[in-house]
Amino acid sequence: MNIHDILKSIENLPLAVAIRENDVLFPWIESVHVVALVIVVGVISLVDLRLIGFRSHHRSVRRLTRELLPLAWGAFLIAVTTGSLLFASDAVAYSGKLPFLIKMALLLAAGANMAFFHLVTYRRVDSWDETLDTPLGARVAGAVSLCLWVAIVVFGRWIGFVDA
Amino acid sequence: MFFQAFEAWIDGTSLSLLIKSVAWIIPVVQSVHILAIAVVMASTLLVNLGLTGVLQSPGPEISTAAGRYLGRVWVSLVILAVSGLLLIIGEPQRTLPNPVFWTKMILLAIVIAMTLVTSRQAVRGASMSLPPALLKGFAWISIILWVAIICCGRWIAYSSAA
């Protein structure tokens, strides 16, 4: 069972076949994907800007994240679900497209950055939440996250311009 | 048919030729367009969810918060207009004769008008001149309109004759 066989069998799943052969399913799933991803990127950017140090109207990182991160997570799950459906409909072709592979790598990096931030830097948030002195770790996490998500959007769009 | 002469004229402009000849321009401009949408979507979603009561408003801060969020929306709409214009100039056949594109423009005009109304409310806060039920309705409709606009945007690619 090599990778190509696995991808082929994904493509042959009934749902994947249905999406591929139907005229409107792919565009609609893609539209939901776009709605979800713009919510993810937009909401995460607000948190990132606060972490970097732009506290325009959110002094507290804790309060900001408490309200916004569930929203971002919900949208992210929808983005992953729709993305998986889109991928399944043409798994072999997408796997061969460099922008797609880079986008997946960037998503992993964004996830790792978020995990590191939550497990390490955020632990001590009480000491710096309301002060002007955001620790370097938090600023870096915010900046890295912002750059990664912009890149994810760019490479995601690029997928559509690369032929298999 | 109505737009054919206009499209042909646009196609011949040096800007259009430039956009068409450099492969990365359209993908990059589309990416900028999407990133600006992210700012608009997140900002309007947060203000509207605050107005509907789904998200908790941070007390007296809501007015200044809403004001700043909405400031970003107006700036992003300018970016969307410029990037959108470049996309139209680069591919006029994809947009001008396309009813999905015009649907998107009409929905955009409606939601901008509604945002102007609700933004004065959100920023002024306590001095509500609109009944709360109407304000909530406007907020929900705005959210639905923005989602519909994004869907129309994506569907332009699938509904164009080009």
**In which band, very low, low, confident or very high, does the pLDDT at A59 lie, cut at 50, 70 and 90?**
low
Amino acid letter at A90?
D
The larger pLDDT score, comparing residue A111 to residue A25, is at A25
CA distance B79 to B98: 22
Report the predicted TM-score, pTM, of the whole model to 2 decimal places.
0.92
B71 touches chain A (CB under 8 A): no
Q: Is the pLDDT of residue B75 over 80?
A: yes
Segment B5-61, tens digit of pLDDT: 999 999 999 999 999 999 999 999 999 999 999 999 999 998 888 888 888 765 555
- B30, B49, B52: which to substitute to probe chain A, counting the most A Cβ within 10 Å? B30
Residues 8-37 of A with CB under 8 A from B: 27-28, 30-31, 34-35, 37
Q: Is the ipTM, as predicted for this complex, more than 0.85?
A: yes
A150 touches chain B (CB under 8 A): yes
Specify the pLDDT at position A51: 85
Q: Is the pLDDT of residue B65 over 90?
A: no
Compute the mean pLDDT over every residue in chain A, rounded to the nearest whole number.
89
Residue A43 and residue B147: Cβ atoms within 8 Å?
Answer: no
Nearest Cα residue to B90 out of B10, B142, B16: B16
Sequence-ordered list of residues with C-beta below 8 angstroms from that of A122, at least 6 positions apart, any chain:
A138
Q: Which residue of A has its CA nearest to B147?
A: A35
| Domain range list for chain B | 4-159
**In which band, very low, low, confident or very high, does the pLDDT at A124 lie, cut at 50, 70 and 90?**
confident
Residue A153 and residue B31: Cβ atoms within 8 Å?
Answer: yes
| Domain range list for chain A | 3-159
Q: In which residue are the tokens 């309109």 written?
A: B145
The total of other beta-carbon atoms located within 10 Å of residue B29's CB is: 19
- Taking residues A21-34, report their average pLDDT: 96
**In which band, very low, low, confident or very high, does the pLDDT at B147 lie, cut at 50, 70 and 90?**
very high
CA distance B125 to A137: 37
Compute the mean pLDDT over every residue in chain B, rounded to the nearest whole number.
88
Residue A34 and residue B39: Cβ atoms within 8 Å?
Answer: no
Using only the alpha carbons of chain A, give its radius of gyration.
Answer: 18
Residue B55 and residue A67: Cβ atoms within 8 Å?
Answer: yes
CA distance A71 to A65: 10
